[in-house]
Every structure is written in C-alpha cells, then in structure tokens.
Amino acid sequence: MQSRLIRSGLASLAAVALTAGVAGCGSNSSDSTSAGSEGSAISAKRCAENKAAGKITYLSGYQYQSSVSILEYIAAAKLGYFKDLCLDVALKPGTGDTAQNTKLLASGQATVSPVAEQDVVQARANGIDITGISSYSNAGLEILMTNKDITKLTQLDGKVVGHKGYVPATVQAMMVKAGVEWDSLKLVKQGYDPSVLPRKQGGLEALTGFVSNEPNQLKAAGDDVTVWKPVDYGVPSSLGAMAVNPAFAKAHPHAVEDILRAALHAYDYCGTGDERTAECVGYAAQLSGPTYDRKLNTAIWKTETQVVKDNPTPGQPLGGIDPDNVTGLVGMLHQFRIVPGSVTADQAKGWFDASFVKNVYAADKLVWPAP
C-alpha cells in the first residue's frame, strides 16, 4: 500500500535514490546539532543509555513536507530536543513509498519512520518485521474530492473517478458504505495536478487525494470542491503513526521512548501560535531548498494538526494507540483482500507496542525533562 504522503511534483523521486541516501548519508540528511545542550533534559544514567544506542536514523514519510510525523521530528532536531536527551538522530528524506520505508526499517537501515497503522498490519502480514509505536488519531488524510454538483456519493455511480495509482482502501470503504455501486465506477489513474477535477478533464467527476494537500491547492487557485472524509463514515484509519525497528526497540527501549518524547515536545512547540509554526516550517524549508512552498506547507501542518485535534484517539494521550482501531483496520483490510483472512485482530494488536508512548506520560501530561 503506497503512502498517504505521496505528493505532487516531487513524487517521481526514485526509491533507489532513497536507499542510496540512507546508506550513504547524502546531502539531504541532517543531524540534531543545531541547538540544545547535551543531557540538559535527562538524568546522567539515562543519558549514557541513550548515547549507547548510537546513531538513530529517522526516515520521513515524504521528503521534508510539513506533515505531522515529519515536521515535529525536524523541529526536535533543530531545536535541540534530541540533543537534550542525548540522542544522536540523523534525519533522512523518504520518497513517499511506504513499502520501501517498511523494508528499510526491518533491515535496520532506518530506525524509526512514519508508517500508518494499516501499513504496519500489511507489512507484518507480508513478513516484514516492524513494530508500530504511536499514532495521533484514528482519522486519516486520504479523502475523495468532487465538484459541488455532487451532493451525495451515490451520484458517482457509473462515473469517472481519478486516483494516483490505486483507490485507498479507506476511500473505497467509505464509498461502499455510502451505497456506491463500486463495480460501476470507471477508475482512471491521474497525475498530481488536482485542477483536472474542476476542469472535469476526461469526464472526471471525483478524485482521490489528501485532506491537507489537494484541497488547499485548489482553494489557493480559487476552485471550490467538496471533500468527503472516510472518518465521517466511521471508517478506521490513522494519522501521524510511527514504527520502529524491533531489534533496536528491544535493545534500547528508553531511547525509543525519548525519541517520541522529543517529537511530542516539538509537536506542542510547533503548534503553539503562528510564529512558532512559521519557525518550524522554516526549518523544513532550510532542509529542502529554495523551491520549498512555505505557504502550502504551513497549510498542510495546520490542516493535519486540526484533524488530530478534531479526532483525538479515544481514551489515549496524544500518540497513544487505540487497540479497537487496529481491530477495525484488520476488518477493512480483510474486506478488500489486502491481507489474508488468517491475520486475526489479536495477532495484529501484537504488532504494536503502546508502552513507549505510555511511559512518556504521567497523568496524561508529557513528562519533560525525562527521568
């Protein structure tokens, strides 16, 4: 399953280039050396433990886009939060290919990376050994867009629906649940220009996308579309989910906790007012180069953090994993034959470890500095 983070013009970056970049620490990498005072937010004993963990490679979901699960890790590095916790974290840009990220995690070429909960289940079902460790929300980013003349999804029966290579399972589940005759649809692969929808190019009536990206692009261009969200139909998903290399997690559990601790601390910082948001987006722009669209990326961050705010994970602090959501995801993946029926919900729950997030909170408040 491809990542929710595949975006417009940059999506053509080859996965082979990513592998070379991770292995060779190319020019798009960054270490957490910008600020902070080593060990200032951690005990001496735990500092020594984290130093012993060695180099930690964070592999982003898609480049240095200002998405949740990306921007706060960039900020944690640039603000010195990793350094404060004696963590040696290198940032690496991903291409948007989730399957590639899961393989790099399993092989140890990456240590932590954004991986949606449904993609963790799919990876493990395919024998790729990774562990899910956090998620910000049971709502996802994948959406369907239509022009304003479509007022109910069943109006799409027999119509042309565009996608980026496949229709995400969450979008398909929403449409089926809404009563759309799925087999009647004419599914066509589109590029990454969302303006094909308001122009109804090729008879297009609907287009898949991501709630923080294409709708913001179309709005900036003066085009008004309707956004249909799977979460509004009770379809399970995830947002801001992270996964880790299991061998690293077993050997260095405190380091995994503190990676999340630093990221959650940075998430709060970057989301506290427009000035701090602009600062954090600026860090991503520094890593990305002069063509980085700060305005769009600011909109991406604000949209995604609002989704998290509007759809908190039930009964969990920010980052906590909802086991009922994992159960729902397994059911959806069975429905569309994405994972074998032999994969049970109980088995899938074992592919996630909620203890790392749990251990960075006290009474649902993030513990900073660390013990």
Nearest to 115 by CA among 223, 34, 203, 1: 1
Percent share of the chain, pLDDT over 70: 91
Instruction: Tokens 């603000």: give the residue.
Output: 79
8 A C-beta contact, residue 326 and residue 345: yes
pLDDT for 4 beyond 90? no
d(CA 89, CA 214): 31
Other CB atoms closer than 10 Å to residue 183's CB: what's the count? Answer: 6
- pLDDT at site 2: 37
Instruction: Tokens 């009770």: give the residue.
Output: 234
What tokens were used for 100?
Answer: 């590639």
Coil vs helix vs strand at 271: coil
Residues 347-368: what's their mean pLDDT?
97
**pLDDT tens-place string over residues 48-91:** 999 999 999 999 999 999 999 999 999 999 999 999 999 999 99
8 A C-beta contact, residue 6 and residue 214: no
Could you give the maximum distance between any two Cα atoms of the chain, in Å?
65
Give the range among 34-38, 209-213, 367-371 with minimum mean pLDDT: 34-38
At residue 362, φ and ψ (nearest 5 deg) are -135, 120
Amino acid of residue 268: D
d(CA 345, CA 23): 35
d(CA 81, CA 289): 23
Work out the mean pLDDT of the chain and round it to a whole number. 92
Return the sign of the alpha-carbon dihedral for residues 81, 87, 91, 95: negative
SS (H, E, C) 180-194: CCHHHCEEEECCCCH
Q: Which domains does the chain have, with CATH numbers?
A: 9-139+238-366 (3.40.190.10), 142-233 (3.40.190.10)
Query: Which residues touch 166 (CB under 8 Å, ≥6 apart)?
Result: 1, 2
Percent share of the chain, pLDDT over 90: 89
- pLDDT at site 191: 86
- pLDDT at site 213: 96
Per-residue pLDDT band at 331 (split at 50, 70, 90): very high
CA R_g for the chain: 20
d(CA 240, CA 117): 9
pLDDT for 296 beyond 90? yes
Q: Is the peptide bond before 236 cis (omega within 30 degrees of 0)?
A: no
Per-residue pLDDT band at 34 (split at 50, 70, 90): low
Give the predicted TM-score (pTM) of the model.
0.90
8 A C-beta contact, residue 174 and residue 230: yes
pLDDT for 214 beyond 70? yes
Residues 245-256: what's their mean pLDDT?
98
Per-residue pLDDT band at 254 (split at 50, 70, 90): very high
Residues 125-131: what's their mean pLDDT?
98
pLDDT for 288 beyond 50? yes
Rounded to a whole number, what is the distance in angstroms from the first to the last CA of the chain?
A: 38
d(CA 37, CA 314): 36
Amino acid of residue 16: V
**pLDDT tens-place string over residues 81-117:** 999 999 999 999 999 999 999 999 999 999 999 999 9
**Beta bridge mates, 221:** none
What tokens were used for 326?
Answer: 């994992």
State how far the alpha carbon of 85 is from the alpha carbons of 74, 242, 246, 310, 369, in Å.
15, 19, 21, 31, 8
- pLDDT at site 33: 46
